Amino acid sequence: MERFCFTFEIYEGMEDEYKRRHDEIWPELVELIQESGLKNYTLFRRGTQVIAYVECHPDKETAFANIAGAEVNARWSKWFEEVIVSLVDEDGNLYEAEEVWHLD
């Protein structure tokens, strides 16, 4: 298992919409996330900054590769284009946060 944290920004004024859409997350997306090996997936928001934490099984590369090509993920991403400023940097990588400490 690999712990993974990344951050991103949502557009100002879209905070409530971001929450509403997650309150109504599509069951087929939840199923894809679970089947791909992502566990304990949690989103936190402070203003327009979102912090995502997820435990990837067996690792983040494998888990996210399982999601990347899925049609439901493409639809969800498209639906959020008006809400999220950007999920990835100019190289296409998520804005990963470095783990500096952990306590079990």
Residue extents of the structural domains in the chain: 2-96
pLDDT (tens digit, 9 = 90+) per residue, 6-52? 999 999 999 999 999 999 999 999 999 999 999 999 999 999 999 99
Q: What per-residue confidence (pLDDT) applies to 22?
A: 98
Q: What CATH number labels 2-96?
A: 3.30.70.100
Mean pLDDT of 77-83: 97
User: How high does pLDDT run on average in the chain?
Assistant: 97
Q: What per-residue confidence (pLDDT) applies to 21?
A: 98
Check: CB of residue 51 under 8 Å from CB of residue 43: yes
SS3 sequence of the chain: CEEEEEEEEECCCCHHHHHHHHHCCCHHHHHHHHHCCEEEEEEEEECCEEEEEEEECCCHHHHHHHHHCCHHHHHHHHHCCCCEEECECCCCCEEECCCCCCCC
pTM (2 d.p.): 0.92
